[in-house]
Amino acid sequence: MNRQSTSHYDALSLAFHWLTAIVVTIAFILGPEGFGRLMRQGIDPATRSDIVWHETLGLTVLALTVLRLLWLALRPAAPQIPMAGWMHISAKLMHAALWALLLALPVTALLALGSESHPLTLLGGVRIDQMPLIANSAIAKLADWGEVHQFLGDAIMWLAGLHAAAAIYHHVIVKDGVLLSMLPAKRPR
Ligand code: HEM
Ligand code: HEM
């Protein structure tokens, strides 16, 4: 495996990054407002396309993140762009927070559905009515996981916005190669 430092992330890391960014943003936009109220009214979530799409896209994020973490261990070295120590540490902390949220969002959603005995409803008619393993676990009672999930959903968008603003700051003000490193490399003419 080539571990030499380059100016760009490899193509698969690029694909994972931008696909995840798009899927997270659409899942956020479709975040089911008033879910608890709908459930209390006895509405079947399978009849609501926003809920079905939200849950399907959210689980797609989980699958993408697990595959991406495997790729992180195997891929060529990530670009090492020289920058001030505090910037480097902030970027590392931001990445850690984003990785943690990408995993915590689907996990808290499953805890929310399982602990309240609400069905998981996905595209293609996939449906899981009960998740007894979650419902009977001690962790299910530790928090209102729906509230935690909503909070984390807002948090990932705020942090991703800050992260994108930092990338644009690097490009426009610092004029280094940070933003370009996550964009496809130009082919030499
Ligand atoms: C990247 C992934 C995800 C993001 C960014 C996200 C974001 C959000 C947001 C912002 C809300 C609150 C909506 C509002 O009140 O206006 C929400 C609610 C909800 N999400 Fe997600 N979500 C994600 C993944 C998932 C997954 C994987 C599932 C199901 C397996 C799911 C199921 C739900 C449910 C059931 C609610 C309603 C919670 C309640 O009110 O009790 N979400 N989500
Ligand atoms: C929901 C949206 C986003 C999420 C969850 C996210 C997450 C991440 C993560 C986890 C990394 C580390 C990647 C790796 O090591 O392979 C990363 C890197 C990067 N992202 Fe994002 N990102 C998002 C949106 C954006 C946007 C909109 C931009 C640009 C405007 C951007 C620019 C970058 C750049 C330039 C890097 C590599 C350089 C660095 O920060 O050190 N990201 N992103």
* 2 in a structural domain: no
The two structure tokens encoding residue 128? 């899981």
Domain-located, residue 187: no
Alpha-carbon gap, residue 133 to 127, rounded angstroms: 16
What is the band of 187 on the pLDDT scale with cuts at 50, 70, 90? confident
**Per the structure block, which two tokens stand in for 82?**
């020289």
> pLDDT grade, residue 10 (50/70/90)?
very high
> Which residue puts its alpha carbon closest to atom 43 of ligand 1?
31
Quote the number of domains for the chain. Answer: 1
The DSSP annotation for 92-137 comes to: HHHHHHHHHHHHHHHHHHHHHHHHHTPPEE-GGG-EE---HHHHTS
Contact, 104 vs 35, CB < 8 A? no
Sign of the Cα pseudo-torsion (96, 151, 17, 186, in order): negative
pLDDT of 7 reads 93
70 located within any domain: yes
Distance, CA 72 to ligand 1 centroid (Å)?
A: 26
Residue 185 confidence class, pLDDT cut points 50, 70, 90 = confident
- The residue whose CA has the least distance to atom 38 of ligand 2 is 178
Dump pLDDT digits (tens) for 98-116: 999 999 999 999 999 999 9
* Confidence band for 5, pLDDT divided at 50, 70 and 90: low
In a domain, 1, yes or no: no
Q: How much distance in Å is there from the Cα of 8 to the middle of ligand 1?
A: 33
Q: What is the pLDDT of residues 138-174, one digit of tens each?
A: 999 999 999 999 999 999 999 999 999 999 999 999 9
Q: What is the mean pLDDT of residues 87-105?
A: 98
Which residue has the CA at smallest separation from atom 37 of ligand 1?
A: 35
Asked whether residue 154 is domain-assigned, the answer is: yes
Q: What is the pLDDT of residues 23-74, one digit of tens each?
A: 999 999 999 999 999 999 999 999 999 999 999 999 999 999 999 999 999 9
- Within 6 A (CB) of ligand 1 lie 24, 27-28, 31-33, 35-36, 54-55, 58-59, 61, 105-106, 109-110, 112-113, 120, 146, 149-150, 153-154, 156
> What's the domain range around 104?
11-181
Does 6 fall in a domain? no
* Residue 188 maps to a domain: no
Return the pLDDT at 186.
80
pLDDT at 4: 46
Amino acid at position 93, single letter? L
Which SS3 state, helix, strand or coil, does residue 7 take? Answer: coil
With respect to residue 4, please indicate whether it lies within any of the assigned structural domains. no
| Spacing, Cα 105 to ligand 1 middle (Å) | 8
- Over the range 29-56, which residues count as b (16 or more CB within 10 Å of their CB) and which as e? ebbbeebeebbeeeeebeebeebbbbbb
